[in-house]
């Protein structure tokens, strides 16, 4: 439970890269792997290239985090952040086949 660890803000951060060649995408993904507050990173289709799930202590801490980490990631062109208001269903294991 992130809240029990002091993380009261969860955000989905959508990122577009300005360079999408293999070298730049891998550099971005390696940089993301080194950030503990990023709980998940998915390469996605559509308008954005990646979606991150990020936790922070509060909105002020998220602002500082975004300024120092998100905006400094390699090849970042655009960032769109949505904050979680309430978690309805938490990530879980996928259902067993045939269940």
Quick one: average pLDDT of 67-95? 91
Quick one: average pLDDT of 62-67? 96
Quick one: average pLDDT of 80-93? 90
Residues 6+ apart with CB under 8 A from 54: 10, 11, 12, 13, 37, 38, 39, 62, 65, 70
The reported pTM is: 0.89
Q: How far is CA 23 from CA 3, 10, 26, in A?
A: 36, 29, 5
pLDDT of 6-55, one tens digit each?
999 999 999 999 998 999 999 999 999 999 999 999 999 999 999 999 99
Q: Are 50 and 15 in contact (CB under 8 A)?
A: yes
């Amino acid at each position: 439970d992130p809240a029990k660890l002091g993380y009261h803000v969860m955000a989905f951060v959508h990122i577009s890269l300005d360079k999408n060649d293999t070298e730049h995408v891998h550099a971005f993904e390696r940089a993301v792997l080194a950030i503990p507050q990023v709980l998940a990173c998915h390469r996605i289709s559509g308008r954005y290239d990646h979606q991150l799930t990020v936790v922070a202590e509060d909105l002020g801490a998220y602002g500082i985090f975004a300024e120092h980490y998100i905006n400094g990631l390699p090849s970042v062109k655009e960032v769109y952040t949505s904050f979680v208001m309430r978690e309805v269903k938490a990530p879980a294991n996928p259902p067993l086949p045939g269940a």
